[in-house]
Structures are given as C-alpha cells and as structure tokens.
C-alpha cells in the first residue's frame, strides 16, 4: 500500500507480539493446539502397514495434510478476533486512534503479529511430520508422498493464504463486535470455510499437482483480497469509537465565534 510508514507498522506489530508473550493463554494455544490437532492423523499415517496400497496411503496423507492446514487457519482467528474488540474493552483503542497512525498501518501491524508465528508453526509442523515420516513410517510410500513437490508447494502457498483470510475475517468480526468472547467464537468459525477448498485437494476430489496448487492458491488470494477490502471499510475511526459512521449534512463557514478575550452569553 502507498503511503504506509514502516516504523508505525512495526510499532503496532511489536506491541501485539509483546502482549502475546505476556498472555499465557495465547502462548499456550499457539504451542499446544497444533500438536493436539496433529497427534491422531500422524499416528495413523505412521502406523500404516507396509502392505497398504499407495492409493490408500495418498488418501491418509491427504487427511494429515488438511489437519496441517487447520493450524494456520484456526490459531490466528481467535487472536485476530480479539485484536480490536479487546482494545476497545480495555480502553486502549481510543488513545491508539488519536495518533497519526493510518488505518492500513494498524491493520497490517495487527495482522503481521499473528501471521508470522502461525505460518511459522504450520511450516515447522509440516517439516517435523516429513522428517518423522522418513524415520518412523512403516509404509515406505508415506514419506515420499508427504515430501512430494506439489505437497510442499501447496503447504507453502495455502498456509499463509489461509492465515491471511483467517486474520482478516477475525479482524472484521472484531471491528463490529462489542463482546470479546462472541468475537472469538465467531472468528474461529468464520476461519473454516476456505478449508473446504483445500479439502478438495486433501481428499483427492481434485488431484494435487503443481498447477492445481497454484490455481487454488490464486483462488485463495482473490478471496483474501476481497476480505481485506471489507476489513478496511469496516475499520473506520468513527465506527470503531461510536459504532456508526458519520453522516455530514452541511458545512457552515466561520461565523460569529467569540474572540479570546470576549464573553458571550449564548442563551439567556
């Protein structure tokens, strides 16, 4: 975006990350939830016997792949859903909005803070699963299927795009919500629909290849852009402070204002 000040964006992101670090719930959710999600499918693919056919292996790997993508979709959603309504709740939103910071700078700063750790965790988990599969999977087809180029490309593209959607929808809900808990629940729910797109690939409804990954990635990019346009429109100073947008009806020129030394009884 044009006219954005990197120092302000970094300041907002740094503030958010500092707050996360001192909130045990957020740190705990980021560290524990991904592993909880992953335990069952990982065990299933690692225990697939060597006799199982490659087609079955591909299906099971596909479901693990989907679970890996839930992580960047779900984790940032509840954090983003807290980002605006939480500030309003603790009274910090108004001081923030009284500064020269632009709407885009706040939004990007607030988005970067959950995006970087969520995508980082998603990549780390994927790498971990691939490495563990190489050493511990009983079926020799599991590791090559997981580390196939199209899988890596899909993971590389889908994880950030799902996270960007999830943060956008969470921020949009947060900007319009007056209750932190409702915002977080709705944010988590609203982060899930794009997973349906990736599920088509995971469950091999659409065979995964490089061009499929790129095509689906572009599709996600388009809906991400549309979502962030909505978020930007919702992130209006007046709406955030009062809950409604300004309607300016007339503009009157300077009139009979009172000078510094004068006294005027406006109404008897």
Near another protein by CB under 8 A, which window of 44-52, 150-158, 213-221, 250-258? 250-258
Question: Minimal distance in Å, beta carbon 39 to another protein?
Answer: 31
Question: Minimal distance in Å, beta carbon 267 to another protein?
Answer: 6
Measuring CA to CA, which residue among 118, 119, 100 is closest to residue 12?
100
Distances (CA, A) of 132 to 50, 117, 123, 128: 16, 22, 14, 6
Measuring CA to CA, which residue among 221, 110, 229, 87 is closest to residue 171?
110
> 114: which 2 tokens?
């959950």
If one asks whether residue 257 binds another protein (CB under 8 A), the answer comes out as yes
If one asks whether residue 176 binds another protein (CB under 8 A), the answer comes out as no
Q: Is 248 helix (H, G, I), strand (E, B) or coil?
A: coil
Report how far residue 64's alpha carbon sits from residue 48's, in angstroms, rounded to the nearest whole number: 13
If one asks whether residue 7 binds another protein (CB under 8 A), the answer comes out as yes
If one asks whether residue 24 binds another protein (CB under 8 A), the answer comes out as no
Residues composing the chain: 268
Question: Minimal distance in Å, beta carbon 93 to another protein?
Answer: 7
If one asks whether residue 252 binds another protein (CB under 8 A), the answer comes out as yes
Report the residue number, 51 or 265, with the smaller CB distance to another protein.
265
- Which of 2, 43, 55, 267 touches another protein (CB under 8 A)? 267
Q: Is 209 helix (H, G, I), strand (E, B) or coil?
A: coil
Near another protein by CB under 8 A, which window of 55-63, 161-169, 206-214, 235-243? 235-243
If one asks whether residue 232 binds another protein (CB under 8 A), the answer comes out as no
If one asks whether residue 23 binds another protein (CB under 8 A), the answer comes out as yes
Report how far residue 231's alpha carbon sits from residue 146's, in angstroms, rounded to the nearest whole number: 35
What DSSP character marks residue 267?
-
Interaction with another protein in 53-112: which residues (CB under 8 A)? 90-102
Measuring CA to CA, which residue among 186, 205, 181 is closest to residue 66?
205
Q: Do 142 and 43 contact (CB within 8 A), yes or no?
A: no
What number of chain residues touch another protein (CB under 8 A)?
52
If one asks whether residue 258 binds another protein (CB under 8 A), the answer comes out as yes
Question: Minimal distance in Å, beta carbon 187 to another protein?
Answer: 21
If one asks whether residue 210 binds another protein (CB under 8 A), the answer comes out as no
Other Cβ atoms less than 10 A from the Cβ of 214: the count is: 14
Residue found by looking up tokens 């001192």 in the block: 22
Question: Minimal distance in Å, beta carbon 132 to another protein?
Answer: 36
Could you list the residues that contact another protein (CB under 8 A)?
Answer: 5, 7-8, 10-12, 14-15, 18-19, 22-23, 90-102, 237-238, 241-242, 244, 246-267
């Amino acid at each position: 975006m044009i006219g954005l000040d990197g120092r302000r964006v970094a300041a907002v992101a740094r503030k958010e990350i500092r707050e996360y670090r001192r909130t045990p719930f957020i740190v705990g959710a980021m560290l524990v939830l991904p592993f909880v999600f992953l335990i069952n499918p990982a065990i299933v693919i690692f225990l697939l016997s060597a006799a199982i056919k490659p087609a079955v292996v591909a299906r099971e790997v596909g479901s693990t792949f989907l679970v890996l993508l839930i992580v960047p979709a779900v984790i940032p959603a509840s954090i983003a859903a807290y980002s605006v309504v939480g500030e309003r709740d603790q009274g910090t939103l108004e001081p923030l909005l009284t500064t020269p910071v632009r709407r885009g700078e706040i939004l990007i700063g607030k988005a970067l803070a959950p995006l970087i750790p969520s995508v980082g965790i998603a990549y780390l988990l994927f790498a971990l699963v691939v490495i563990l599969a190489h050493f511990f999977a009983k079926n020799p087809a599991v590791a090559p299927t997981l580390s196939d180029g199209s899988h890596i490309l899909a993971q590389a593209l889908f994880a950030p795009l799902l996270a960007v959607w999830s943060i956008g929808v969470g921020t949009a809900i947060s900007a319009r919500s007056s209750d932190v808990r409702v915002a977080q629940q709705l944010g988590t729910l609203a982060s899930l629909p794009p997973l349906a797109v990736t599920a088509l690939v995971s469950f091999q409804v659409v065979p995964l290849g490089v061009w499929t990954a790129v095509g689906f990635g572009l599709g996600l990019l388009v809906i991400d852009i549309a979502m962030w346009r909505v978020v930007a429109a919702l992130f209006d100073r007046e709406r955030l402070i009062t809950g409604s947008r300004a309607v300016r009806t007339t503009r009157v020129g300077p009139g009979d204002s009172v000078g510094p030394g004068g006294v005027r009884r406006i109404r008897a």
